[in-house]
Chains A and B, each alone.
Chain A
Amino acid sequence: MTIDQEIRKYPFSEAPGIDIDPVYGLLRSTEPLARVQLPYGEVSWLATRYEDVKTVLTDPRFSRAAAQGKDQPRTREEMTYEGIIGLDPPDHTRLRKLAGKALTARRVNEMREGAQRIANEYVDEMIAKGSPGDLVELFALPYPITVICELLGVPFEDRAQFRIWTEGLTSTSEQLMVYAEQLFGYMGKLVAQRREQPTDDLLGALVKARDEGDRLTEQELLSIAGVGLLLTGVETVSTHIPNFVYALLTNPELMAQLRADRSLVPAAVEELLRMIPLNPAAMFPRYAVEDIELSGITVRAGEPVLVSLPGANRDPEIFDNPETFDFTREQNPHVAFGHGPHHCLGAQLARMELQVALHTVLDRFPELSLADGDAGVSWKSGQLVRGPNKLLVAW
């Protein structure tokens, strides 16, 4: 049976707006381990069932380290240094532990007040400019950049420049390499300053780990601090804020429910995370290091498996009415942040920032609407994440 399976082109179609291609649901029930061919790399398995997805993400017989040097199934031709996501425990543990300490629920909660202040400042400016306005440009982008700047300890006067680099890095700009080089150079300078004058911020802690414990190489240090935290810490939240607000504006009953009961905001964030994939297409294949069975099919040692997080998040075996937004679910064990050793390092920070963002939008815009319907919304395309890059709202 495995030999006869059709090889499907992947990623599947780009569904409009915040939807996902219905083929994920079809595969989950009829072909739980599909064969897929990405634009580059070898043919891969694609798991769409919740239990299989969790197995691939946690079972040590599925390896990220074993993927290094392979012709990995991927959407971009080049294969770059993968950093922390290219490692298995225990090597992975060494890196993860250092950055993880700054991002525990307790540490993140201490940052909530600061995040709220930053969010209010940008909304103040947005309101001062007058309705209508682009929520992405005026709020969803600058807010998480500033939160990360404070976390890393980027001085206030450098933030405007920092924003140019960050936006450059997250766009498809041809200047990408120039920006990346400038940003690396800048981070190198911040690191040097911390060598002379130690600081308590996250960058200071990473420098200390590098210099005293010899637990980080210089490349790891800059890779984690510069590109890692920025790309993963900014692009994600700045994409999901407009995704979430768009979902609420196009589902007015959900907006009304949240306005009526603000204690639902944390649960709403989880449900929005479950339903709206940041990246509908699967990435980072795991390679089987021995033969292992998934949904009755044997994955041979040396074969890659991709997991569909959106597929798992709509599995009816786990979620009642999986295709429906429900802010009152008692259990919501979604895997939007992944699962296992590579579970999103910044998940708690993302949750906090998204909760603060929703509260701020609800507080400050009691009469929010799309200013020009779907004509005022444009969507990113050809990028690693999907969401509006413009969301024109009126209030």
Chain B
Amino acid sequence: MTTVDTRWTVTVDRDACIGTGVCAGAAPRQIEIRAGKASALAPETAPDEAVIDAADMCPMSAITVRDAASGALLAPEE
């Protein structure tokens, strides 16, 4: 698989999310705050370090980034 094809999924646990907006600050092209909670702008995204940062920085660990093809966990770091 080439990197061109690689896609990541970004999911938000809306029960855990407390709407700090830290994620939207780190990854404004992929995540926004909608009705007080974080929301991915699209179910899949091209690889971008910013979404890894967003997931790592969420104080509630409410954001998960996975490789779309393999399902491997990319963030947050354990």
Query: A60-B28, A90-B50, A101-B56 in contact; A343/B61 too (CB < 8 A)?
Result: no
B33 at the interface (CB under 8 A from A): yes
Cβ contact within 8 Å between A339 and B26: no
Cβ contact within 8 Å between A97 and B53: yes
User: Complex formed: what's the CA distance from A24 to B53 in Å?
Assistant: 36
User: Complex formed: what's the CA distance from A60 to B29 in Å?
Assistant: 11
The 0/1 profile, CB within 8 Å of B marked 1, for residues 304-348 of chain A is 000000000000000000000000000101000101111100011
Cβ contact within 8 Å between B26 and A341: yes
Q: Give the interface size bracket for A toward B.
A: 20 to 34
Cβ contact within 8 Å between B26 and A93: yes
Cβ contact within 8 Å between B57 and A100: yes
User: Complex formed: what's the CA distance from A348 to B60 in Å?
Assistant: 9
| Chain A residues whose CB sits within 8 angstroms of the CB of B25 once the complex forms | 58, 60, 89, 92, 340-343
B20, B53, B57: the one contacting A339 at CB < 8 Å is B20
Tell me what chain A mostly uses at the interface: helix, strand, loop, or mixed.
helix
Query: A105-B61, A106-B61, A333-B36 in contact; A343/B22 too (CB < 8 A)?
Result: yes
Q: How many residues does chain B have at the interface if contact means C-beta atoms less than 8 Å apart?
A: 19
Cβ contact within 8 Å between A58 and B21: yes
Closest to B27 in A: A89
User: Complex formed: what's the CA distance from A331 to B18 in Å?
Assistant: 11
B43 at the interface (CB under 8 A from A): no
Give how many A-B residue pairs fall within 8 Å (CB-CB).
Answer: 67
User: Complex formed: what's the CA distance from A58 to B26 in Å?
Assistant: 10
Q: Which of A17-74 contact B (CB under 8 A)?
A: 54, 57-58, 60
Cβ contact within 8 Å between A343 and B21: yes
Query: A58-B25, A339-B20, A341-B26 in contact; A103/B36 too (CB < 8 A)?
Result: no
Cβ contact within 8 Å between B26 and A343: no
| Chain B residues whose CB sits within 8 angstroms of the CB of A159 once the complex forms | none
| Chain A residues whose CB sits within 8 angstroms of the CB of B28 once the complex forms | 60, 89
User: Complex formed: what's the CA distance from A169 to B61 in Å?
Assistant: 33
Closest to B36 in A: A333
Q: Taking beta carbons and an 8 Å cutoff, which residues of B are in contact with A?
A: 19-22, 24-26, 28, 33, 36, 50, 53, 56-61, 77
A-B contact pairs, 26 of them (CB 8 A): A57-B21, A58-B24, A60-B28, A89-B25, A89-B50, A93-B26, A93-B50, A96-B22, A97-B53, A100-B56, A100-B57, A101-B56, A101-B77, A104-B58, A104-B61, A105-B59, A106-B61, A333-B19, A337-B20, A339-B19, A339-B20, A340-B22, A341-B25, A342-B25, A343-B21, A343-B25
What 9 new A-B contacts, CB under 8 Å, besides A103-B59, A333-B19, A339-B21? A58-B24, A58-B25, A60-B28, A89-B50, A90-B53, A100-B22, A101-B77, A341-B22, A342-B25
